[in-house]
Amino acid sequence: MIDANPLRRLLKATLDDYHKRTGKNRIDFAEEMRARLDDAVTASKLDSFTRKPKPKKTYYLPAEWLPTVCEVGEDDRLVRAVLPDHLREALAVGELVMDSHRSLEQALALVRNLKTRGSRRTRKPAQR
């Protein structure tokens, strides 16, 4: 199970950074999310996800909202936090590849080349 405390803190940090960067408040953030999701996103709902839960009243951020929170907030820390380790590692490798190349096409060519070389190495030697 994912610990909700760090996720609450990350959501709050995303909302705070959004405000600092844009001068807009949580109501504006919620309106942008509502327009993208066509869902009933409100500032009070966002606030309920960032508050420490009260006994018998815990609110959970819907998983389908995560990509939109990251898009609107221009911050991917929240979605990265819920990735399993193997996907986080794969993402880190992909980012290193992208950082070392000027274009996506160059990076994809390198990855294809690595896959081709790797698949040759994993083949069993021919029986004689």
Query: Domain with 51 in it: what CATH number?
Result: 1.10.260
Q: CA nearest 63: which of 77, 82, 87?
A: 82
pLDDT truncated to tens, each residue of the chain (128 aa)? 455 678 888 999 999 999 999 999 999 999 999 999 988 899 988 888 888 777 776 677 888 898 999 999 999 998 888 888 888 888 888 888 777 767 778 777 877 777 655 444 444 555 55
Looking at the domain assignment, is residue 105 inside a domain?
yes
- The answer to whether 68 and 55 are in contact (CB under 8 A) is no
Provide the domain limits for residue 47: 4-81
Distance of CA 32 to the CA centre of its chain: 18
Distance, CA of 101 to CA of 98 (rounded, Å)? 5
* Predicted structure pTM score: 0.66
What is the number of domains present in the chain? 2
- The answer to whether 47 and 11 are in contact (CB under 8 A) is no
